Amino acid sequence: MSLFNTIRNTIVPVHKEGYPFVAAFFAGSLVLGWLWEPLFWVGMVLTLWCAYFFRDPERVTPQDDDLVISPADGRVSSIQMVVPPAELNLSTEPMLRITIFMNVFDCHINRAPVRGKVNHVVYREGQFLNAELDKASIDNERNSLVIESPRGNIGVVQIAGLVARRILCWTAPFQTLEPGERFGLIRFGSRLDVFLPAGAEPRVSLGQRSVGGETVIAEYGSAKGPVISRRS
Please report the pLDDT score of residue 232 as a whole number.
45
Please report the pLDDT score of residue 107 as a whole number.
87
Task: Give pLDDT tens digits along the chain (232 positions).
Answer: 565 554 455 567 887 887 888 899 999 999 988 888 889 999 999 999 888 888 888 999 998 999 999 999 999 999 999 999 888 999 889 999 999 998 888 888 999 999 999 999 999 887 777 667 777 777 788 999 999 999 999 999 999 877 656 788 999 999 999 999 999 998 776 889 999 999 999 999 999 999 999 999 999 986 666 655 555 4
pTM of the model: 0.86
213 — alpha (psi -120 to 50), left (phi > 0) or beta?
left
Alpha-carbon Rg for the chain in angstroms: 19
CATH class of 67-220: mainly beta
In the chain, where are the structural domains located? Answer: 3-54, 67-220
Catalytic residues: 190
Please report the pLDDT score of residue 11 as a whole number.
67
Query: Amino acid identity of 108?
Result: H
